[in-house]
Amino acid sequence: MTTPDLIVRGLRVLTSEVKEPGPSAIHISHGVIMAISKFDEVPPGIPIFNAGDSVVMPGLVDTHVHINEPGRTGWEGFTTATRAAAAGGVTTLIEMPLNSIPATTSARGLREKLAAAEGKLWVDVGFWGGVVPGNLSELKPLWEAGVFGFKCFLVPSGVDEFPHVSESDLHVALPELVKLRAPLLAHAELLRPIERAAAAAKNPPTQYATWLASRPREAEDEAITLLLRLAGEHNARIHIVHLSSASALPLLRQAKAELAAISVETCPHYLAFSAEEIPDRGTEFKSAPPIRERENREQLWAALQEGLIDFVVSDHSPCPPEMKQQDTGNFLDAWGGIASLQLSLPAVWTSARQRGYSVWNIAEWMCRGPACLAHLEKHKGDIAIGLDADLIVWNPDATFRVEPPLLHHQHKLTPYGGRELAGVVEATFLRGRRIYDAGSARFGGSATRGEFLSGPIGSALKRDTP
Ligand SMILES: [Zn+2]
């Protein structure tokens, strides 16, 4: 039997086999978990990392991250984003196709992104491609070049390089995605309800209620109705990103009962905040779709518990602070996006534990669930033999205050600023190497430790398709 090169052990290890963390030792060889034994069953002479009472859990998989490089590197970049990920316990992230220039809507765009990311990855990174009007001929080349699936918008995305699609565009694109067996990820809001709401808007733009009223639940509900119909017509695999509207939940419940190929995510900000608590001029809370009322938030929590919402990912979408219009406090002019990649775990955990959820729920929602969307479940998102040794050691009982010096995002503005959160990441391991150590506040190794996750392009992972 191979000798492990590292053992990570602790009293509260959360493997896929158990609902409660317990004493265990994880044996790692060449970055892969080769065995899981009782705490004391370790061969002599092997380096051991002792996690003590802290929880050892799979590294988080965040399938919804906007890094913006190349082209808008002043908003965020691969170095800052992947360091923030490592410090936040995220060991795998899949990057969204928009906000960079070029957008990842062609194989050339993907090549430019890979070139921009070269040598800057502290964690493993993969890429989504984009469906935009007229790029049908690029979908197969993008898929063959290693994207994990395709994202589209049903409303203007906020950037000119990534126009939104109409229903007729999707009737063209979906048969191709079905042929490729690639999932479609959709920003589900429709324009017509938003235009109706704009015509009725009266309140000043510095009030959060104005932004909320401008993006009504119907915009999401009608878009989801359309997407579910298209999924049925084309037998397509469709994933709804960043669900905010709880009134879409009955539609999704019925569709999931009838169609296996529908999945749904929500984000930490929809679970942590409510519209009632957002102050006037608090534009750091602006996202699209918006954070809704408290009663809506509690329905999202119930849907997570039910398994109707499959998982939670950050939708980290930062911008330079001046684009958040903090000086004017104008919600309608501010960039719609929330910075939270590093804070995803404590943000969700702080709210989850208040509602009686366990660290096992966190692993389901933030590790195993998103790994399945990207078909990475044989490599990522769990502690089991044969999977990558992507591990985090964290203390769910410790708390910290979110202060700018702690944050490794390029820009420090976040709605979590100044808040006390529970859940401190103490160490992060990527394929058996310690890439972050909170004790010394240090990143280990170098920015070349992360790998590109993809199919044929220079990757250790092969996508699981025929
Ligand atoms: Zn997004």
pLDDT tens-digit readout, 392-426: 999 999 999 999 999 999 999 999 999 999 999 99
* Residue 86 identity: A
Q: How many residues in total does the chain contain?
A: 466
pLDDT of 456 reads: 34
* Cα-to-centroid distance, 242 and ligand 1 (Å): 7
Give the residue carrying structure tokens 């918008």: 153
| Ligand 1 centroid, distance to 151 Cα (angstroms) | 10
- Ligand 1 centre and the CA of 2: distance in Å? 43
What is the C-alpha separation between 137 and 124, in angstroms, rounded?
Answer: 28
Mean pLDDT of 99-125: 96
Distance 442 CA to ligand 1 centre (A): 29
Three-class secondary structure of residue 87 per DSSP: helix
Tokens encoding 422: 């529970």
Task: Tell me the β-bridge partners of 95.
Answer: 65, 127
Q: What is the pLDDT of residues 375-396, one digit of tens each?
A: 999 999 999 999 999 999 999 9
Task: Identify which of 421, 380, 450, 287 has the alpha carbon closest to the alpha carbon of residue 63.
Answer: 380
User: Which neighbouring-strand residues pair with 63?
Assistant: none
Q: Is 403 exposed, middle or buried (0-12, 13-18, 19+ CB in 10 A)?
A: exposed
Amino acid sitting at position 42: V
**What percentage of residues in the chain have a pLDDT greater than 90?**
91
Q: Which pLDDT does position 449 carry in this prediction?
A: 80
How far does residue 26's CA lie from ligand 1's centre (Å)? 35
List the single range of 206-220, 307-321, 407-421, 434-448 with lowest mean pLDDT. Answer: 434-448
Angle at 92 between CA 170 and CA 434, to 5 degrees: 175
Q: According to DSSP H, which parts of 8-132 are helical?
A: 78-88, 107-117
Q: Are 353 and 135 in contact (CB under 8 A)?
A: no
Q: What are phi and psi of 12, to 5 degrees?
A: -135, 70
Give the distance (Å) from ligand 1 centre to CA of residue 180: 23
Question: DSSP letter at 164?
Answer: P
Across 231-257, average pLDDT: 97
Compute the average pLDDT of residues 355-371: 97
CA 267 to ligand 1 center in whole angstroms: 10
317 Cα: distance to centroid of ligand 1 (angstroms): 6
Alpha carbon of 386 to ligand 1 centroid (Å): 31
d(CA 443, CA 209): 41
Helix (H, G, I), strand (E, B) or coil at 318: coil
* Cβ–Cβ under 8 Å, residues 263 and 373: yes
Give the Å distances, CA to CA, from 334 to 269, 281, 285, 325, 412: 17, 10, 10, 5, 16
Q: Using the mean position of ligand 1's atoms as its centre, give its distance from the Cα of residue 284 in Å.
A: 15
Structure tokens at 310: 């499959």
Q: What is the mean pLDDT of residues 6-33?
A: 95
**Pairwise CA distance, residues 409 & 82, whole Å:** 9
295 residue type, one letter = E
Taking every pair of Cα atoms in the chain, the longest distance, rounded to a whole number of angstroms, is 72
Q: Is the pLDDT of residue 466 over 70?
A: no
Q: Residue 1: its pLDDT value, please? A: 65
pLDDT of 368 strictly over 60? yes
The pLDDT tens digits of the residues spanning 264-297 come to 999 999 999 999 999 999 999 999 999 999 999 9
**113-117, 247-251, 353-357, 457-461: segment of lowest average pLDDT:** 457-461
**Is residue 302's pLDDT more than 70?**
yes
* Region 322-346 average pLDDT: 95
Q: Per-residue pLDDT tens for 177-235?
A: 999 999 999 999 999 999 999 877 778 999 999 999 999 999 999 999 999 999 999 99
The mean of the pLDDT values for the chain is: 94
Closest CA relative to residue 57, chosen from 81, 35, 94, 26: 26
CA distances to 27, 33, 282, 387 from 22, rounded to whole Å, are 16, 17, 42, 19
**According to the model, what pLDDT value does residue 207 have?**
96
Buried b (16+ CB within 10 A) or exposed e, 62-99: bbbbbbbbbbbbebbbbbbbbbbbbbbbbbbbbbbbbb
**Residue 168: band (very low, low, confident or very high) from pLDDT cuts 50, 70, 90:** very high
